Amino acid sequence: MSAEERKKVVPQTIMIGGKAFATYTQAKRIVKLVNDVGAVVNNDPDIGDLLKVVFILNYNVSVAEILIPGSELSQRISTAGIEASGTSNMKFALNGCLIIGTLDGANVEIREEIGKDNFFLFGAEAHDVPKLRKEREQGLFVPDPRFEEAKNFVKSRAFGVVIYTTSFVKCTRD
């Protein structure tokens, strides 16, 4: 962006909150990746003053009381029918946030109350999940090219050293 274009950009902060139980290795890897992405984005000379990525440690009710009233968008992306989306999303909706999420847990009730036009559905619905898992097991699932591009960017070591396994991508800083 030119200097003039940059003046027109409203700075944004992306806050990602959560916890990783001691035995939940995949969640710990995701937290690590978020922090590594944040380190790169936040320190980038071109966008570091326009975009910040922050991981909120130990997200809980006390933290939510501070963050929710000042938030504009809430994304709760869980596997529909498997993982609850959390009732804090109801609090985000009550405070005027736009909601992006799967139809799971509290999101089902939120969508009913605020209307389909005010809820941005992301991902599959619970009745679609078994079919999608079967297609993936059979090698029939074709990921969106943008996802593949993002995955390849992570693998490029843009956020640190990448260690591969069959089920996850782990990022660590050099």
| 124 closest CA partner among 141, 104, 142 | 104
Give φ, ψ of 114 to 5 degrees. -95, -10
Q: For residues 30 and 168, give the distance between their C-alpha atoms in angstroms, rounded to a whole number.
A: 9
61's tokens:
């009710």
Residue type, 82: I
Q: For residues 53 and 37, give the distance between their C-alpha atoms in angstroms, rounded to a whole number.
A: 7
Residue 149 has a pLDDT of: 94
Q: Is the pLDDT of residue 165 over 50?
A: no
Confirm whether pTM is higher than 0.85.
no
pLDDT tens readout for residues 20-58: 777 888 888 888 889 999 999 999 998 999 999 999 988
| 75 closest CA partner among 62, 61, 86 | 86
Q: Is the pLDDT of residue 174 over 50?
A: no
pLDDT tens readout for residues 74-105: 887 777 777 666 678 888 888 888 888 888 87
